[in-house]
Every structure is written in structure tokens, then in C-alpha cells.
A and B are shown apart, each in its own frame.
Chain A
């Protein structure tokens, strides 16, 4: 039975894949219910930066490279905004154990970007994030156009280069 199921599902996806459009975007930012920093309901459809690119990073308070990534971005974030108008959303996948620690951590660290809470990994699953940190760049039409797994010292410069290319209308590959 398992085999029949697998084949049928694969068929379904094969049909779907063959029918998808050919734009460069990887996928559209999914519409998922998460929470904002005040614990208010927030749907990712509300994410908007007036047609300018958006960077979205997945992180957790217990993830060492994520904290490094955010510290590094925070240092240059004001410059980024002035130069490109980019906006950063940091999506915390901290679960019930640590999600209430997110706001004190963000403020305590003095991070200046927007933070969203995804305590049961709904957005994480919809965007196929395996392990944090995982960074996405979203174009002005709300389409994910670039993604990157992990964080190495200096990777943030790569992000802003992609954003600059997007704004200039250049090919990001």
C-alpha cells in the first residue's frame, strides 16, 4: 500500500512541477500565521517593504552562529537601510521553552531589526528550513529569490550584495 501511495504522490508532484511557471523566483513567500514581538497575531502576508527587498533569517536563542550573524548585521544595519532601504525580519524558531526569552534577548542585545516568533515551526516548515541559520532574500514582489544555509563570518556582505543587485535589476546569479 505504501508503494501505491508513494507512486501516486510522486505522480501528483510531477504533474505540478511540469505546470509551474518559469519566473526566476524560487517561490512566493508563504502566508503563515506567526506572532510579532508583542505576542500579537501576525500573518506573513503583511510583510511589506514598499517594493524594496527584504532579508529574512531563521534563528533561535540557542543557536551560536545565528547570534553571531545578528550581531554582525546589527552593526551595519543602519547603513544598509540608508543605502538600500532593505528591511530585515529575524524569525525565531524558539519553542515554548525559550520563545518568551526572545524579546529580552533582542532588546538586551540592542538589535534594531524586526523579529517574528514561529514557536511551532509552521513558517519554518513552509519555507523548508532544516537548521538555523537559514537566510532568504525576498524581492519587491514578495518572491523568494535567493537563499543561503549557515553563517560564516562575513556572509552578511554577500546578503547586501544580492540586495544591491536586485535593486539595480541585475542578474543575481
Chain B
């Protein structure tokens, strides 16, 4: 079960580009593209800078008007989806 304490890694085979506020991710192994909305793009930017998921969550909570429980649910759902598609890896231990 994924939690905000998970240690996430962005694999080398994933590319990312911003399109205005949004973003597109590319898994170069599968040639598949994934769109991220503004909040997802911001989360990705933070993870890409090396921030831990918990810290990124805290920063997003400060930046957007959203209830903590809702943000946590949305982030974990998004991370689940990213993991499923090989765009993020959860570090062991």
C-alpha cells in the first residue's frame, strides 16, 4: 500500500516536457505518452528536483486551495498510475 512516506525514483527512460502549465511524460521504452494537469506537472517538477513525496505534498498543500485528505488521495492515485505505467519507481525499503 502506497503512502506519502514512499521513496520515489524517476527512471532514466522517462522524459518530461512542460506545455504551459501542463506537462507530457514519455516512457521511451514503450513509446507511450501521458498528460499531466497543472497540479500533476507541479508534483512531477518537485519529484524531478529530488523532493520526497511527503515534502512535495506539503508544498502543494501550501500552493493550492485543497483539503489535505483530498490532496493525499489524489496524489497517491496519481503515483499509483505512474508506477503502473513505469514512469515512477518505488525504492525498496
Question: Is B a genuine binding partner of A?
Answer: no
Q: Which of A's residues lie within 8 Å of B, judged by CB?
A: none
Q: Which of B's residues lie within 8 Å of A, judged by CB?
A: none
